[in-house]
């Protein structure tokens, strides 16, 4: 079966333009996550979807960032009025079951990552 796919693999845009990044999770995975990885840094959590709803958007860095998920499958991360500091690799991951409410007692299931979209804002 196919893994998580993301498109485009590379995106170069000019400052101030809007961009859309797409993620196709593994079929049947109900949970979907977006992360950002800046050069030489660890992964920064952005947003998490359970089905089509996003119970936690606290990681989105500004109101220029938004995301949606339709049909419990494909997700789109949109960055409006891009800035140079938005340049990074944007990674999407999916898992079979959702993140637990934080009680520490439930083990998360494995997250499967896509190859990422490298965004360069000139």
Partner 1 sequence: DAKTTQPTSMDCAEGRAANLPCNHSTISGNEYVYWYRQIHSQGPQYIIHGLKNNETNEMASLIITEDRKSSTLILPHATLRDTAVYYCIVRVALRSGYSTLTFGKGTMLLVSP
Binding site for partner 1 (CB under 8 A): 4, 33, 35, 40-43, 45, 48, 55-56, 58-59, 91, 93, 99-105, 107-108, 110-116
Supply the minimum distance, in Å, between the C-beta of residue 81 and partner 1: 26
- Tokens 């997250």 belong to 111
- Tokens 């049909």 belong to 71
Supply the minimum distance, in Å, between the C-beta of residue 14 and partner 1: 24
Supply the minimum distance, in Å, between the C-beta of residue 56 and partner 1: 4
- DSSP letter at 97 equals S
For partner 1, the closer CB: 27 or 107? 107
* CB distance 20 to 77 below 8 Å: yes
Q: Which helix (H) or strand (E) holds 118?
A: strand 117-121
């Amino acid at each position: 079966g196919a893994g998580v796919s993301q498109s485009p693999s590379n995106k170069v845009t000019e400052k101030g333009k809007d961009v859309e990044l797409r993620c196709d999770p593994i079929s049947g995975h109900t949970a979907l996550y977006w992360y950002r990885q800046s050069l030489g840094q660890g992964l920064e959590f952005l947003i998490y979807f359970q089905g089509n709803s996003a119970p936690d958007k606290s990681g989105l860095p500004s109101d220029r960032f938004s995301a949606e998920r339709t049909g419990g499958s494909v997700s789109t991360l949109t960055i409006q009025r891009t800035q140079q500091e938005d340049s990074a690799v944007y990674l999407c991951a999916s898992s079979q079951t959702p993140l637990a409410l934080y009680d520490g007692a439930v083990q998360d299931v494995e997250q499967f990552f896509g190859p990422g979209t490298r965004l360069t804002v000139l």
